[in-house]
Amino acid sequence: MRIRLILFLVMAGGAIAQPEGATSSDWPHYGGTQFTWRYSALDQINTTNVKALTPAWLFQTGDYSGNLQATPIVLDGVLYLITARANIFALDAATGRQIWHYTYPEPATVRGTGYRGLAVGGGKVIFGTRDDYVVALDQATGHMVWKVSMDDPAQCSCGINAAPLIAGDKVIVGATGGDSANRGYLTALRIKDGHLAWRWYVIPGPGEAGHDTWKGESWKYGGGAPWVTGSFDPELNLIYWGTGNAAADFYDGDRLPTGAKKNQDVNLYTASVVALDANSGKLRWHYQEIHDDTWDWDSVYEVMLVDLKIGAQTRKALVHMNKSGLTVVLDRLDGSLLQHFYVPEVQTWMDGITEDGKIIGRHEPVVGKSILICPSVDGAKSWNSMAYSPRTGFVYVPANEVCSTLTSADREVEEGRNYMDGTFRFELPPGRTTYSHIDAWNPVTGKRVWSVPYKYVLLASMLATSGDLVFTGNPEGDFFALDARTGEKLWSYQTGAGHRGSSIAYSVNGREYIATSTGWQTSVAGAHAQSLFPDQEWRGGSSLVVFALPDVK
């Protein structure tokens, strides 16, 4: 195995290489590392030989209810995988041989769209459940060690389908429910025994800073659920997380305080990136990306922690995209704005963005009337992740060009029930023949470097490697590799099922593997997308397909 140690300055992208953000033989966390680059330092598979990539082994989970959406975890030659209905497998990462299997009982009332990942740490395999528990299994045997209830799902209408985040001796989980009348929060449990370490509420209660940004009692039902996995900087001891939209989604009359301005912080701390102290859960800083969100523009997506050379100074930064496609580069020490850029090619919800990141010319839903908003409520990007390469300094983004016709409403709140206050239907923007693209963006300059169009939509995560490759898949079943510097397609393989999950890179005994989850999501974003292309029958499935070079033993 040949692992290139990246210790040089990448002048073209203005990025300083960070070993802590790159994986090597293992893939230990949902985002690769806790810095969430989805980048591997392995380069045995590279631009010169990727055309020879071939399947090494395949594992069929047998769970086809929601297809396979997860990111596998690999540690010390063992691959851990969770399916849509919480079948957890430990597999030999070189052969696919099953080591153990655990099945979590299906809840009587199912919430969420299927499990997207798990965490491994402290000798335990940890996952959240759709009936709002956190469960820890023994890493060696798959036997349950502890199980902790987070909330009453019948009351909050929430559950957990994202991968937990390991941060030192704690595991942190968010929850679904951002479109329901509840109050989102993050919870930290001690890995050893599941005991509560702290809980931080997205929406501040009485006497807490930011409480006055909510009207009356609306803070009790204001949403903000942080339903995607966050990031962790061990050196700074800070956890970074994106928060969900304010509820109601499309109507702000019940939550906007009298006299509040739409170009300043309001309904805190929804639609924000937040930094929390890992020991105490105390808020260190916040950056609200969308003030008074009335479009369902969650800011929950992944937070990429990167050091960037901006001018003559190297900044500890982060890169974050929200559902609208607005992407910000922030100083991760204090949350100050360093750069921003906008990814979609079609947008109708605003007139522009000021240099300091403020939205101007807002086009909002109107009660009782319909308005076309681009991108759609499923976002310019869904929960599938971007990737970052320190070799190129580029961020790799899957972007969709789909719109929604929104109609706002005003109805009385019911605790724990759907609280979108409006309806929507999906539309294709006129005058286009392609409805998605994979882009490479320079986060320092805010400029797009290259773009590859695709005729349908893209809902799989990106993987970047030191072999100057970018991997991802499409709903037609193609898993493919692009040149990370130019976007040229170098290799493709038909896996037999659409792609919604995430691929990873790892090595065992000197052999590099690329593994991808297969199976098109047949609910929420996947179903919405498929409804726009009725002539397509994108296939579900639940298989892990693992590739390697044939001449490496």
The CATH number of whichever domain residue 417 belongs to comes to 2.140.10.10
The boundaries of the domain holding residue 519 are: 9-548
Give the global pTM: 0.95
How many Å apart are CA 47 and CA 132, to the nearest integer?
A: 44
Q: Check residue 522 and give its pLDDT.
A: 77
Return the pLDDT at 553.
66
Residue 3 lies in a domain: no
**Overall number of domains in the chain:** 1
Residue showing tokens 């956890």: 239
Confirm whether 155 is domain-assigned. yes
Give residue 13's pLDDT.
45
pLDDT tens digit string along 423-464?
999 999 999 999 999 999 999 999 999 999 999 999 999 999
pLDDT at 157: 75
* Cα 473 from Cα 232, distance rounded (Å): 27
Residue 478 falls in the annotated catalytic set:
no
Q: Tell whether 26 is covered by a domain.
A: yes
Distance (Å, rounded) from C-alpha 78 to C-alpha 125? 12
pLDDT of residue 66: 77
The answer to the question of residue 4 being in a domain is: no
Which residue out of 63, 179, 254, 296 is catalytically annotated?
Answer: 296
Residue 553 falls inside a structural domain: no
pLDDT at 175: 87
Nearest Cα residue to 226 out of 266, 286, 294, 169: 286
Q: What is the predicted pLDDT for the residue at 16?
A: 53
In this prediction, the residues of the chain whose per-residue pLDDT falls under 70 are 1-19, 109-112, 553
Place of tokens 């105490």: 280
What long-range pairs does 528-537 form, CB within 8 A, spacing at least 24?
528/376, 528/378, 528/426, 529/378, 529/400, 529/402, 529/426, 529/456, 529/457, 529/459, 529/475, 530/475, 531/426, 532/402, 532/426, 532/427, 532/428, 532/435, 532/457, 533/456, 536/456, 536/475, 536/476
In a domain, 282, yes or no: yes
In angstroms, the CA 4 to CA 13 distance is 19
What region, left, alpha or beta, does residue 168 occupy, with left being phi > 0 and alpha being psi -120 to 50 degrees?
left
Residue 101 lies in a domain: yes
Residue 344 contacts residue 327 (beta carbons within 8 Å): no
Within-domain flag for 251: yes
pLDDT at residue 1, as a whole number: 37
Residues 6+ apart with CB under 8 A from 317: 305, 306, 307, 308, 310, 329, 330, 331, 332, 338, 443
